[in-house]
């Protein structure tokens, strides 16, 4: 630490060897630390007679997507991010990592990726050029920059989710929900 109280020098962030995925460590026979989600123990269960003024609660396998993920857009269509949320959550559950990922992170990813798709559809509809509001001259479409911004945001969120899965998944896995989404988009274009 310097005299002025700031930290200087030292190891750079993200410098050095990247961590090896948990499944590869296990396959290689190396020492690996597996995170365990706390399990519910039936013997610690309370009896209904012990509780005062209780609510009737039901357990759920998957959290319900927030309403803003399926909100109606200006064109009257639903956003559709709720479908992407459900698909991503199922993908996480298949790998046993849904306990380690915050549902809000999955919601943010679903919304960003859906907004990216909306911008790409707008570019397809209106083209790459727009009209300047005051001069009337040709300008680059604002949807291009918005599309790049949403894509970058969605990718950063996806890398965060995928890193959690990579570090905590005990079995080797194949498949990526992003590949399925892009395949659906590309196959939808061929049908037109």
On whether the CB atoms of residues 170 and 23 are closer than 8 A, the answer is yes
Q: What is the mean pLDDT of residues 39-45?
A: 66
Q: For residue 131, how far is the Cα from the chain centroid? A: 35
- Does the pLDDT value for residue 188 go beyond 80? no
* Distance of alpha carbon 107 from alpha carbon 89, whole angstroms: 10
User: To the nearest whole percent, how much of the chain has pLDDT over 90?
Assistant: 35
Quick one: tokens of 30?
A: 């190396």
Q: What sign for the dihedral angle of Cα 68, 74, 78, 82?
A: negative
What's residue 192's pLDDT?
41
Overall pTM > 0.85: no
Q: Of 15-24, 117-126, 172-181, which one has max mean pLDDT?
A: 117-126
pLDDT per position as a tens digit, 87-114 = 999 999 888 888 899 999 999 999 999 9
Q: CA of 40: how far to CAs of 1, 43, 46, 132, in Å?
A: 45, 9, 12, 61
Average pLDDT over all residues of the chain = 82
Classified as helix, coil or strand, 78 is strand
User: Which among 190, 185, 109, 121 has a CA at the least distance from the CA of 152?
Assistant: 109
């Amino acid at each position: 630490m310097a005299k002025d109280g700031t930290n200087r020098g030292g190891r750079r962030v993200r410098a050095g060897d990247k961590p090896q995925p948990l499944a590869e460590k296990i396959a290689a026979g190396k020492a690996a630390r597996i995170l365990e989600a706390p399990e519910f123990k039936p013997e610690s269960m309370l009896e209904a007679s012990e509780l005062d003024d209780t609510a009737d609660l039901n357990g759920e396998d998957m959290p319900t997507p927030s309403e803003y993920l399926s909100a109606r857009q200006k064109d009257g269509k639903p956003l559709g991010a709720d479908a992407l949320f459900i698909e991503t959550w199922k993908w996480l559950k298949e790998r046993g990592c849904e306990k380690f990922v915050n549902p809000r992170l999955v919601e943010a990813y679903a919304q960003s990726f859906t907004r990216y798709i909306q911008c790409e559809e707008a570019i397809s509809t209106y083209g790459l050029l727009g009209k300047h509001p005051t001069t009337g001259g040709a300008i680059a479409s604002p949807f291009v920059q918005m599309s790049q911004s949403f894509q970058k945001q969605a990718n950063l969120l996806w890398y965060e989710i995928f890193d959690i899965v990579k570090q905590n998944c005990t079995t080797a896995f194949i498949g990526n929900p992003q590949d399925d989404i892009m395949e659906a988009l590309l196959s939808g274009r061929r049908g037109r």
